[in-house]
Chain A
Amino acid sequence: AQSVAQPEDQVNVAEGNPLTVKCTYSVSGNPYLFWYVQYPNRGLQFLLKYITGDNLVKGSYGFEAEFNKSQTSFHLKKPSALVSDSALYFCAVLTDSWGKLQFGAGTQVVVTP
């Protein structure tokens, strides 16, 4: 079965420091991976996706993610975190051709001034 895991419930980082949110996946075949962010009382906002091609994917709001096939990882990164990046981040994997997404449990990011 296709699945993703987010090993950290919460990540704390100081403003201006690099931010990394971890995601590992387990799939049969080629993985299609997504990152979404959820702000309080809001819906999920799409950040980026990996379908095929370059292992480094650039997305919205200065975020990027690195696909690593040997480590089955798809970590989300931002070189310099902002207080406004504080939110809940979800990694997801496509589990069928019709678009069923399997989400990770989410990682709460807290950026302190």
Chain B
Amino acid sequence: DSGVTQTPKHLITATGQRVTLRCSPRSGDLSVYWYQQSLDQGLQFLIQYYNGEERAKGNILERFSAQQFPDLHSELNLSSLELGDSALYFCASSVVSGRDTQYFGPGTRLTVL
């Protein structure tokens, strides 16, 4: 167990809908990262927050947004969902950033029908 928790484990929804994925980092970690894993694109970095502020952005669609709250948990919001958004979404956390090891949560499997 990495100490990173993600809810829900599974999510099934329809095209056009909006969902929110939640992540709680390990105790003491200030940075949260979101990744998407799909068969097509592999593991892709989406976005990173450090102590409530956005620090790095990857190939995140405009329909997706995230935030990190004062208690350091983070939420990833996915809207206007398309079939191609079906994937495993992972959250990771690290103490600060950079060379610190990132510890991954168990993921949320999103299925868009």
Contact = CB atoms under 8 A, between A and B. Distances in A.
Interface of A: 32, 34, 36, 42-46, 49, 51, 90, 94, 96-106
B18 interface: no
21 contacts: A34-B102, A43-B2, A43-B90, A43-B104, A44-B104, A45-B2, A46-B103, A90-B43, A96-B56, A97-B98, A98-B31, A98-B98, A99-B31, A99-B33, A99-B56, A99-B94, A101-B35, A103-B42, A103-B43, A103-B44, A105-B42
Contact of A106 (B42, B90, B98, B106): B42
Interface residues on B, range: 20 to 34
Interface of B: 2, 4, 31, 33, 35, 42-45, 48, 50, 55-56, 58, 90, 92, 94, 97-107
